[in-house]
């Protein structure tokens, strides 16, 4: 948490930090508070030591760059903390006004986070659901995929070796071995399980879940990549590409989760 407070509020910095920590819970917070006084009822003081420091620094720069030093005084008087209210601490009744303003800003920020969180929740579930739907679309192509592979290998063997010279038993053994290596049943099962686990993680009431969801997304991506590598079918490859697109969109959304 980074706070930028005027000197008059420095005594309340710990109170402000505790207030924000209790309301906002997580995330990086940058808070800037400025207190403006109206009228001449509150005397002001000039920090001459700080003004002299600013002047010497500006003069050194101006001399090095050989530029005019017009209006240096007016510039110095606008520098932070050169001119301040002639009091060390904001009165209690005025502090209560500042405190209420900080609390309202924190509540508004939490309401905005809640609204964004609901939208993220819906979008992430939709992305994972799309991946599940694409996985379902692969199923009708599996049997045809195996037949295509078998036919293609059989034709290649007949062309280069000759059908009459093939050992059919050995050919079937090799075919089984090859098809087993291309089987992605386990990948489909694990992908489906990871998707269900993702839903469970999203539904949990835990405050910090961004990293955990990121880990689950990585596992989903690993299964999709392996499935695509084993597909050896143009239609299935197209479905896998669509899965990857949905996964990338989910990854982008997870970066917004605390």
Per-residue model confidence as pLDDT tens digits over 182-214: 778 888 999 999 999 999 888 877 666 778 888
Q: Residue 216's CB: how many other CB atoms inside 10 A?
A: 21
Number of domains in the chain: 2
| Cα gap 127→228, rounded to integer Å | 18
Terminal CA-to-CA distance of the chain, rounded, Å? 15
Name the residue among 228, 223, 235 with its Cα closest to residue 148.
235
- Domain-located, residue 59: yes
Q: Residue 123's CB: how many other CB atoms inside 10 A?
A: 15
- Domain-located, residue 108: no
Q: Residue 128's CB: how many other CB atoms inside 10 A?
A: 22
| Cα gap 34→221, rounded to integer Å | 48
Residues 176 and 120 in one domain: yes
| Cα gap 8→97, rounded to integer Å | 14
**Confidence (pLDDT) at 211:** 82
Residues 55 and 139 in one domain: no
- Domain-located, residue 37: no
Residues 154-165: tens digit of each pLDDT = 777 667 666 666
| Cα gap 58→74, rounded to integer Å | 12
Which of the pair, 247 or 257, is modelled with greater confidence? 247
**Residue corresponding to tokens 């049997």:** 143
Residues 64 and 175 in one domain: no
Residues 219-247: tens digit of each pLDDT = 999 999 999 888 878 888 999 999 999 99
Confidence check: pLDDT of 248 > 90: yes
Angle ∠(220,221,225) on CA atoms, nearest 5: 120
- pLDDT band with cut points at 50, 70 and 90 for residue 41: very low
User: 46-50, 115-119, 188-192: which has the highest mean pLDDT?
Assistant: 188-192
Residues 179 and 237 in one domain: yes
- Domain-located, residue 8: no
138-142 average pLDDT score = 83
Domain around 77: 44-86
Per the confidence metrics, is the pTM higher than 0.85? no
Residues of the chain with pLDDT > 90: what percent? 19
Residue 202 in contact with residue 125, Cβ under 8 Å?
Answer: yes
Residues 78 and 152 in one domain: no
- Domain-located, residue 32: no
Token code pair at residue 60: 């050194």
Residues 76 and 201 in one domain: no
| Cα gap 233→238, rounded to integer Å | 9
Residues 52 and 141 in one domain: no
Token code pair at residue 40: 């001449």
E-assigned strand segments in the chain: 2-4, 30-32, 44-46, 83-85
- Domain-located, residue 5: no
Residue 134 in contact with residue 246, Cβ under 8 Å?
Answer: yes
Name the residue among 23, 1, 14 with its Cα closest to residue 95.
14
Residues 243 and 134 in one domain: yes
Q: Residue 106's CB: how many other CB atoms inside 10 A?
A: 19
Residues 55 and 147 in one domain: no
Backbone angles phi, psi at 126, to 5 degrees: -65, -40
Token code pair at residue 26: 């997580």
Q: Greatest CA separation found in the chain?
A: 110
Residues 219 and 170 in one domain: yes
- Domain-located, residue 247: yes
- Domain-located, residue 81: yes
Measured over the CA atoms of residue 109, residue 114, residue 117 and residue 119, the dihedral's sign is negative
Residues 153 and 240 in one domain: yes
Residues 72 and 128 in one domain: no
**Residue corresponding to tokens 């000039």:** 46
- Across the chain, what does the average pLDDT equal? 81
CATH number at residue 196: 1.20.120
């Amino acid at each position: 948490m980074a706070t930028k407070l005027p000197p008059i509020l420095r005594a309340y910095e710990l109170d402000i930090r505790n207030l924000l920590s209790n309301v906002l819970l997580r995330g990086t917070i940058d808070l800037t508070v400025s207190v403006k006084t109206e009228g001449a009822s509150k005397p002001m003081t000039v920090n001459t030591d700080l003004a002299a420091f600013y002047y010497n620094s500006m003069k050194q720069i101006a001399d090095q760059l050989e530029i005019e030093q017009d209006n240096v005084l007016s510039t110095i008087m606008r520098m932070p903390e050169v001119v301040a209210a002639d009091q060390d601490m904001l009165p209690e009744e005025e502090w209560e006004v500042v405190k209420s303003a900080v609390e309202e800003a924190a509540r508004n920020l939490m309401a905005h986070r809640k609204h964004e969180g609901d939208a993220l929740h819906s979008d992430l579930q939709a992305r994972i659901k799309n991946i599940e739907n694409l996985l379902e679309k692969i199923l009708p192509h599996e049997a045809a995929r195996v037949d295509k592979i078998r036919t293609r290998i059989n034709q290649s063997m007949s062309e280069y070796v000759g059908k009459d010279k093939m050992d059919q038993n050995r050919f079937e053994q090799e075919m089984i071995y090859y098809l087993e290596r291309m089987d992605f049943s386990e990948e489909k099962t694990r992908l489906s399980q990871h998707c269900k686990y993702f839903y469970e993680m999203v539904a949990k009431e835990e405050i910090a879940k961004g990293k955990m969801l990121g880990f689950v997304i990585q596992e989903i991506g690993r299964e999709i990549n392996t499935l695509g590598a084993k597909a050896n079918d143009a239609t299935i490859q197209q479905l896998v590409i669509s899965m990857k697109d949905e996964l990338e969109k989910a990854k982008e959304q997870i970066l917004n989760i605390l």
